[in-house]
Structure 1
Amino acid sequence: MTQLANQLASDIQRYIAANNLPVGTRLPERGLAEHFRVSRSPVREALKRLAAQSVIESHSDGGFVVADAAAASPAAELPSAANDDAESTYLRIAEDRLAGALPDRITESELIRRYGPTRNQLTSILRRMVHEGWIERLPGHGWAFLPTLSSSAAYNQSYRFRLLLEPAALLESSYRLDEAALRACKQEQEALVAGGVRTASPAQLFDANTHLHETIAGFSGNLFIVDSLRRLNRVRRLMEYRKAVDRDQAERRCREHLTLIDLLLTGQREAAADFMRLHLRDAAREKASATG
């Protein structure tokens, strides 16, 4: 778990810098675990490592918050993911896989020959792909790509399924809001509206937005709803990368997310369910008309 915790510490540090999280921002274990799609144990270890580096600090009520040292940390000075070599390689692999240019099974040596990353970069990229659910290690040797959405018809069906699922999640009798997790999502969306949406990569936008939707679905208390949405998001991820990113539309959706969050924070569940339905319907229409 040591290697994963070290990688997560770096990822969390980048997450703090990329979203310009202010000093004092809470860093909930569960929210980070859901965002990075790992269990809470390695997140807990990663937070301890960052606390030892004074990037974050313990809070009097428990947990951790962003510390003053985060602003001067190396992660804050790193280039954005959109310009990072590893991010570029990751997106090229995603595009080639979606286009059918890669076989179902492949070795690390073949990936290095084709895309030219260092061994360490490829290890990080493969770990990310495993967490996102579109590749898995084969016993003994090599890797196998997992099924993803690859047609416009299937992509449109995914939105129709979400229209059935997500508004209903807000009306479940077992619904229970986690205010700390929702406020962490709100900070992420506010950072995007404040300018982050203009520079974020397609992967960063997808992660921020699916994190919010999965967090809200989790409030339903219905494990089948949460699992269905997470599975769907894993298989539609690559299709989202292929869509042309309209920054104005992306910003508008983030603003709608903030409206949705405020409805939930003020206890207006039925209004939030109605708003969720309109939000998904409009997003489906925008994506259907997008090229790329």
Structure 2
Amino acid sequence: MQNRTVQTSPHGLDTSNLSSLQAEIARKLMPLIQSGRWAVGEKISDAALSREFGISRTPIRQVLYYLIEKGIITQTDNRGFTLLNTPLTTDQMEELVPPSDVDTLYHQLMHARANGMIGDEASETELVEQFNSSRGVVRRTLMRLSSEGLAERRDGHGWRFAECLDNKQSVNESYAFRTIIECGAIMEDTFKPDLAELAALEHAQQTLLDMPLAMIKGAEWFEANANFHETVVSWSGNRFLIQSIRRQNSLRRMTEYAEFAELSETGVRKAARDHLAILEAIKTDDRKLASAILYRHLSRSYVSADSRPAAAQD
């Protein structure tokens, strides 16, 4: 049997492969890098990430060393970490960080729930059998759904799932709620845009506007738009508003995972233009205009009374 060569960081950590947990961490971290959380050359704190992710520093540092090897992060003289390079595409991220077992099951559960293959409640044992997975992976996946407000533990090993946005009333109620939250966030006295994040959002939306529709993946489209709305709300500095928009994005994600194939070129272009106009108004500190554009943007996305929920809604 051929022995595997073990590569180690300066701290003696094996960086040749990522464990399931480390892959989960990496796939949480990479979208933050892509969204412009840190500018090139800015410090990335492993302690801050440990607090944010609720995970000990050791596996987080393992992931940071892995990204050093991949040319994304560099290490400073004082053994800190700074951003060296930002990945350009989702495909590059997939190549750098293959999905973990939890990532794979997470997407399977979301798709199954959106398509009615899982009811409102299920036990861990039922999910283990249905998806041919281990109990540990099922439990960690359910805990991830729980942290996103999409599932809650019942007595014993049972779990109850959140309602899907799978009918016109629930979709319209979601948009009405988002209109209140997002427009209100922009008008908060504490609202202060992060210019690096704003530039990253502009780049992402301009790319969507210029890219041929055939090249746009549904999942990439959804995540770019979800990130736009969450980032804008985050500039309010109000943790309760941020928590609210994250839960709405999670609910939308569960439903729209089943409908990614139905992208509309008109819808994609219109949403990207709206997003760029909102960002331009924020840059010029015209928050009333930004809020008005956002209000119109969300209002016209409502589902009419005689139609089914549309795919890839903004």
- The TM-score with structure 2 as length reference comes to 0.65
Structure 2 residue 266 is matched with structure 1 residue 226 = no
List gaps (5 residues or longer) in structure 1. none
Secondary structure of the corresponding residue to residue 233 of structure 1: helix
- Once the 2 structures are TM-superposed, how far is the Cα of residue 88 of structure 1 from its aligned partner? 8.2
Matched, 1:8 2:25: yes
SS in 1 for 2:189: coil
Partner of 1:180: 196
Give 1:102 deviation, angstroms. Answer: 1.7
1:124-273 aligned at under 5 Å gives the runs: 129-136=145-152, 141=157, 143-195=159-211, 198-199=214-215, 201-243=217-259, 245-248=262-265, 249-273=267-291
Structure 2 distance, partners of 1:169, 1:246, is 28
Note the C-alpha offset of 1:28. 8.4
Sort the Cα spacing of 1:48 and 1:151 in 2 relative to 1 into closer, same or farther, 3 A. same
| CA distance 1:239–1:74, change in 2 (3 Å) | closer
Query: Aligned-pair distance for 1:80?
Result: 10
Moved more, 223-232 or 161-170: 223-232
Change over 3 Å in CA distance of 1:43–1:132 after alignment to 2: farther
* Post-superposition offset of 1:282: 2.4
**Which digits, 9 at most, give the CA deviation of each residue in 1:106-148, with x for residues without a partner?**
3555335434568898688656544543235668746442344
Secondary structure of residue in 2 paired with 1:39: helix
Q: 2:302 aligns with which of 268, 284, 287?
A: 284
Post-superposition shift, 1:175? 1.6
**Greater percentage in helix:** 1
Give the direction of change, closer, same or farther, for the CA distance of 1:3–1:101 in structure 2 (3 Å limit): closer
Contact 2:35-2:200 at 8 Å conserved across structures: no
CA distance in 1, matches of 2:303, 2:87: 43
The answer (yes or no) to whether the contact 2:230–2:245 under 8 Å persists in 1 is yes
Distance 1:196 1:108 in 2: 42
Q: Amino acid of the residue matched to residue 279 of structure 1?
A: H
* 1:82-161 matches, cutoff 5 A: 93-107=109-123, 110-115=126-131, 129-136=145-152, 141=157, 143-161=159-177
> How far apart, in 2, do the equivalents of 1:127 and 1:228 lie?
18
Of structures 1 and 2, the larger Rg is shown by 2
By how many angstroms is 1:272 displaced? 1.0
Which of 52, 59, 64 is equivalent to 1:39? 52
Report Cα offsets for 1:62-103 as digits up to 9, x if no partner. 9633539999x985647999xx99988655533432454323
* Aligned length, in residue pairs: 278
Cα RMSD, aligned residues only: 4.7
Provide the residue aligned with 1:48 in structure 2. 64
Distance 1:70 1:181, change over 3 A: closer
Q: Distance in 2 between matches of 1:269 and 1:79?
A: 38
TM-score (norm 1): 0.68
Q: 1:76 to 1:155 in 2, by over 3 A?
A: closer
Percent identity over the alignment is 26
Distance (Å, rounded) in 1 between the aligned partners of 2:111 and 2:274: 29
Structure 2: gaps spanning 5 or more residues? 1-18
